[in-house]
């Protein structure tokens, strides 16, 4: 049911759920273990003091150094410490001038603390492993309804796309017949343009739903670009397309490259002003493509590649998301510069596709 791989949105949800649960439980465990360590440290101090006190009676102890000091108002029956040792002073029967000092070397004390830290560290590591397993199980359990809902939605959209093919085919056929039977008709051309727009949206939805297996082939970019410009130009007769195309050979997946170009050209025309311009340039020296328009511009260019983000009622917000998705898959660096009211410039760096 879960399949071999989680899709990106499911993987993102899984990782976030896992981190949220693991960090929360891990932080609680860390606080508990820190509290436990401070108790262990205090217990060690109490144990050392108890042993010193017993040793003061029978002197039968090898771990402590025994010395005699002048009283001089020395604090007694208290565990003290300095840079060299932990020590305590105890009274000597029938003597007011001297006290017995029992000391424990500070290096041994630090060794005992290190052993406590090592033991607790091993326990804490085991707890973290257990928490990681529990976090993974929790995340998978929490993700199950989301995955089921996404699966149902994906299958529903696929069915819609499949069912739309029949009426679209009939529309294209009838529009073609009408064009042959009548002279140039603006209404028929608009219907044809609307059908092509629906087909383009259908392709975008299919690209959004399906994972791509890229197959590189030798592509003359300037030829492909000219073909796509001619195709899009027919759909937007009110927009002027200008091109400066230097010869550039790429090794890439043709279908994916066509989807990228079609979406950028269509967006440049769709959101342009009446009588506006879309300019396309290929700089072969840097293997760089620029597609600029004189359109509405974008208020927040950083969000433009997000899924379902749109600033215009004309769009549904998946075209540029698919462009970014395909560019990432093909190792194309895409950037955008936009000024609201003046237009946008999309730059495609294709240097990584110039070698077969």
Domain ranges of the chain: 8-143, 215-353
- How would you write the pLDDT of the chain (356 residues) with one tens digit per residue? 334 344 666 777 888 889 999 999 999 999 999 999 999 999 999 999 999 999 988 888 889 999 988 887 778 889 999 999 999 999 988 888 889 999 999 999 999 999 999 999 999 999 999 999 999 998 888 877 777 776 777 666 666 666 666 777 777 777 777 777 776 666 776 677 677 667 766 666 666 566 556 788 999 999 999 999 988 888 788 899 999 999 999 999 888 898 899 889 988 998 888 889 999 999 999 999 999 999 888 888 888 888 777 776 565 667 788 888 889 888 999 999 998 888 999 999 999 998 86
**Do 226 and 243 form a contact (C-beta atoms < 8 A)?**
yes
Radius of gyration of the chain measured on its C-alpha atoms: 38
CA distances from residue 286 to 64, 166, 281, 283, 324 in whole angstroms, order as listed: 77, 44, 12, 6, 20
Using DSSP, state whether 337 is helix, strand or coil.
Answer: strand
Q: CA 20 to CA 104: how far, in whole Å?
A: 45
Q: CA 260 to CA 326: how far, in whole Å?
A: 7
**Do 55 and 62 form a contact (C-beta atoms < 8 A)?**
no
Sorted by sequence, the CB contacts under 8 Å of residue 270 that are 6+ apart come out as 236, 314, 315
Identify the CATH assignment for 215-353 out of 3.20.20.140, 3.90.960.10, 3.30.565.10, 3.40.50.2000.
3.30.565.10
**Do 86 and 103 form a contact (C-beta atoms < 8 A)?**
yes
Q: Where are the beta strands (DSSP E) in 32-122?
A: 65-70, 80-81, 85-92, 95-105
Q: Give this prediction's pTM.
A: 0.52
* Sign of the four-CA dihedral 213, 215, 216, 220: negative
């Amino acid at each position: 049911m879960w399949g071999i791989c989680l899709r990106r949105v499911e993987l993102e949800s899984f990782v976030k759920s896992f981190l949220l649960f693991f960090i929360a439980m891990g932080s609680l465990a860390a606080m508990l273990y820190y509290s436990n360590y401070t108790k262990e440290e205090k217990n060690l101090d109490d144990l050392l003091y108890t042993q010193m006190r017993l040793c003061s009676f029978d002197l039968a102890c090898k771990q402590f150094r025994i010395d005699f000091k002048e009283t001089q108002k020395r604090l007694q029956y208290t565990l003290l410490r300095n840079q060299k040792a932990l020590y305590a002073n105890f009274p000597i029967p029938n003597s007011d001038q001297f006290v017995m000092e029992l000391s424990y070397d500070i290096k041994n004390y630090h060794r005992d603390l290190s052993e406590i830290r090592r033991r607790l560290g091993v326990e804490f590591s085991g707890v973290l492993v257990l928490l990681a397993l529990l976090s993974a199980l929790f995340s998978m359990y929490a993700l199950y309804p989301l995955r089921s809902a996404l699966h149902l939605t994906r299958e529903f959209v696929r069915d819609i796309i499949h069912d739309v093919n029949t009426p679209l085919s009939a529309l294209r056929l009838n529009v073609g017949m009408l064009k042959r039977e009548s002279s140039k008709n603006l209404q028929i051309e608009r219907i044809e343009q609307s059908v092509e727009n629906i087909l383009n949206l259908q392709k975008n939805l299919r690209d959004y739903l399906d994972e791509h297996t890229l197959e590189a082939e030798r592509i003359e970019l300037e030829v492909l670009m000219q073909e796509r410009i001619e195709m899009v130009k027919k759909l937007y007769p009110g927009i002027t397309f200008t091109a400066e195309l230097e010869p550039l050979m790429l090794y890439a997946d043709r279908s994916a490259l066509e989807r990228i170009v079609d979406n950028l050209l269509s967006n440049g025309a769709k959101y342009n002003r009446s009588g506006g311009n879309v300019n396309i340039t290929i700089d072969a020296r840097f293997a760089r493509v620029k597609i600029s328009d004189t359109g509405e511009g974008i208020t927040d260019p950083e969000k433009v590649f997000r899924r379902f983000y749109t600033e215009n009622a004309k769009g549904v917000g998946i075209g540029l998301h698919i462009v970014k998705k395909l560019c990432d898959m093909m190792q194309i660096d895409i950037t955008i510069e936009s000024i609201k009211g003046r237009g946008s410039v999309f730059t495609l760096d294709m240097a990584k596709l110039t070698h077969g």
